[in-house]
């Protein structure tokens, strides 16, 4: 029995906790470690845990996340603001052009019930842009051709009557002039440097498609160095810019500009089956504007240089015909116009053994478009150029003093003076011949609503490829450019 008066003296053994208290403390330590690890796991995997929340939580978080993404990608806002600012700057320099012309050339009789002797008037519409501080505006020739009245409407709603200063059907360019309305902010558009234009560059088309004033569309330069017939000219227009910026009827004459607000060209044509944008538009380049527009203002006309040959690019068909290699590029001279500059210089033209032009003034010539482009943009009548030609495999340098290109009246009165660049059948005549062949043969049903003509080469022969479209059918007609003969008709 323990004596109640006996007091225990603590020893080292007695100071240790009992076994049950020891176990309790161990459990507490384990729990603390587990809680610490759980917190660490929560921090590391919380994004995954949040990702598994219900849809309601996601819908609340999504706008916040989207706002953060947009705020972080400030370039989107910068781009759209830059385009908006560019529009504000240049739109005031783009105009709408309304014209009235006699309908005497349109063969529909007198459907308006007008008294005999009075000619009905037809209206037209296009675009243009302010060229200089003297009141000159640039547009297309086909916009103002044969116009009796021309009215220019400005961005701010003002308008003014215009006079036609001069036109150039071969480049489809025209200059008109107005007296700016009082209080009008008159802002000419600057011209771009032709050497700075590259495929892939962003461009902007401004104009009045379908009469919708001050319309802006964007795209890129799709291709350079195209050639297209212009109006009734026998000659193709070189160095054409192709773009996918939306161009529609009414855009004609409006500017194509770069991101600096500089004019890179004048919109003038589209390639489409439905007479509206299909992503293939054509623009007269600034290199041609720089040459022709000042001459129209100062002299009323532009005098084109004239080489006096008939030739074509060396294609696989031409190379096979003349037993050339598949690496031989240039212009094959099929004919030299009698008494012309090339004839006087000794250039040889022949269907069998003609010269091959491979350079002009040391500038490489790979195609007929290269040759014509250099002539139009870099030379003038009376200037002497040096042609590098291959003759019977031997390279020669031949100086040629350029003449002045004959006009249409001269070509009609003296066909032997033709340049041969597009043959005696022009684009408009090719369309007429193609239509006649299709109509005479009863090959299509309904009215022809679309006409497209393109210069081409078939079996070594220069041709016009004419496509005629009705509501239900399409006819492709091949017309020989030299004789006007119908070579082939395919109806689909």
CA distance 174 to 296: 8
CA distance 177 to 138: 9
Tokens (6 digits) for 27 = 């459990």
Q: Are 245 and 205 in contact (CB under 8 A)?
A: yes
Q: Among residues 297, 219, 301, 299, which one has the least CA distance to residue 265?
A: 219
Tokens (6 digits) for 23 = 């176990």
Annotated catalytic, 252?
yes
Contact residues for 240 (Cβ-Cβ < 8 A; gap 6+): 225, 226, 227, 228, 282, 283, 284, 285
User: How many other C-beta atoms are found inside a 10 Å radius of the C-beta of residue 358?
Assistant: 18
CA distance 104 to 425: 24
From the candidates 93, 96, 127, 142, which is the catalytic residue?
A: 142
From the candidates 93, 98, 127, 172, which is the catalytic residue?
A: 172
CA distance 279 to 165: 33
Q: Are 252 and 140 in contact (CB under 8 A)?
A: yes
CA distance 389 to 330: 9
CA distance 307 to 419: 7
Indicate the DSSP class of residue 190: P
CA distance 28 to 136: 94
End-to-end C-alpha distance for the chain, whole angstroms: 127
Please state whether beta strands 136-139 and 121-130 pair in parallel, antiparallel, or not at all (unpaired): antiparallel
Q: Among residues 340, 331, 347, 350, which one has the least CA distance to residue 306?
A: 340
From the candidates 96, 233, 252, 342, which is the catalytic residue?
A: 252
User: How many other C-beta atoms are found inside a 10 Å radius of the C-beta of residue 355?
Assistant: 27
Q: Among residues 219, 175, 251, which one has the least CA distance to residue 83?
A: 219
CA distance 242 to 278: 12
> For tokens 């070579």, what's the residue?
487
Tokens (6 digits) for 172 = 């489809």
Q: Which residue pairs from 280-283 have beta carbons closer than 8 angstroms and sit at least 24 positions apart in sequence?
A: 280/222, 280/242, 280/244, 281/205, 281/242, 281/243, 281/244, 281/245, 281/246, 281/247, 281/251, 282/226, 282/228, 282/240, 282/241, 282/242, 282/243, 283/240, 283/241, 283/242, 283/243, 283/256
Strand partners, 255: 266
Q: Which residues are catalytic?
A: 142, 172, 252
């Amino acid at each position: 029995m323990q004596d109640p008066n006996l007091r225990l003296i603590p020893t080292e053994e007695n100071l240790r906790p009992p076994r049950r208290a020891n176990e309790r403390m161990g459990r507490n330590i384990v729990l603390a470690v587990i809680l610490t690890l759980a917190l660490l796991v929560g921090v590391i995997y919380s994004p995954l845990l949040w990702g598994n929340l219900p849809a309601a939580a996601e819908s609340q978080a999504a706008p916040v996340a989207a706002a953060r993404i947009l705020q972080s990608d400030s370039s989107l806002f910068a781009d759209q603001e830059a385009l908006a600012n560019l529009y504000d700057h240049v739109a005031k320099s783009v105009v709408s052009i309304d014209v009235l012309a006699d309908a005497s050339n349109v063969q529909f009789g007198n459907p308006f019930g007008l008294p005999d002797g009075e000619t009905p008037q037809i209206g037209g519409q296009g675009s243009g842009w302010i060229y200089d501080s003297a009141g000159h505006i640039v547009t297309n020739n086909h916009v103002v051709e044969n116009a009796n009245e021309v009215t220019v409407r400005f961005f701010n709603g003002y308008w003014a009557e215009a006079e036609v200063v001069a036109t150039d059907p071969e480049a489809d360019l025209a200059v008109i002039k107005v007296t700016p309305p009082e209080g009008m902010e008159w802002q000419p558009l600057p011209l771009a440097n032709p050497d700075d234009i590259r495929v892939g560059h962003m461009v902007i088309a401004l104009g009045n498609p379908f009469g919708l004033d001050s319309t802006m569309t964007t795209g890129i330069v799709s291709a350079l160095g195209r050639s297209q017939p212009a109006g009734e000219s026998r000659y193709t227009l070189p160095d054409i810019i192709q773009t996918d910026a939306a161009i529609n009827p009414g855009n004609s004459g409006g500017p194509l500009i770069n991101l600096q607000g500089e004019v890179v060209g004048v919109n003038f044509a589209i390639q489409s089956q439905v007479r509206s944008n299909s992503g293939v538009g054509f623009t007269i380049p600034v290199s041609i504007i720089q040459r022709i527009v000042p001459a129209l203002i100062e002299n009323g006309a532009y005098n084109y240089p004239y080489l006096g040959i008939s030739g074509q690019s060396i294609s696989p068909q031409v190379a096979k015909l003349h037993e050339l290699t598949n690496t031989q590029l240039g212009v094959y001279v099929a004919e030299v116009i009698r008494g012309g500059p090339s004839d006087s210089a000794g250039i040889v033209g022949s269907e069998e053994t003609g010269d091959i032009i491979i350079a002009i003034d040391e500038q490489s010539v790979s195609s007929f478009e290269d040759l014509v482009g250099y002539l139009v943009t870099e030379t003038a009548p009376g200037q002497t150029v040096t042609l590098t030609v291959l003759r019977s495999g031997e390279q020669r340098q031949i100086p040629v003093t350029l003449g002045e290109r004959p006009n249409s009246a001269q070509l009609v009165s003296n066909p032997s003076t033709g340049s041969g660049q597009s043959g005696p059948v022009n684009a408009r005549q090719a369309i007429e011949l193609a239509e006649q062949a299709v109509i005479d043969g009863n090959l299509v049903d309904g009215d022809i609503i679309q006409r497209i003509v393109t210069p081409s080469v078939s079996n070594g022969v220069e041709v016009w490829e004419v496509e005629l479209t009705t509501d239900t059918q399409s006819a492709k007609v091949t017309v020989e450019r030299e004789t006007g003969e119908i070579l082939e008709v395919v109806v689909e």
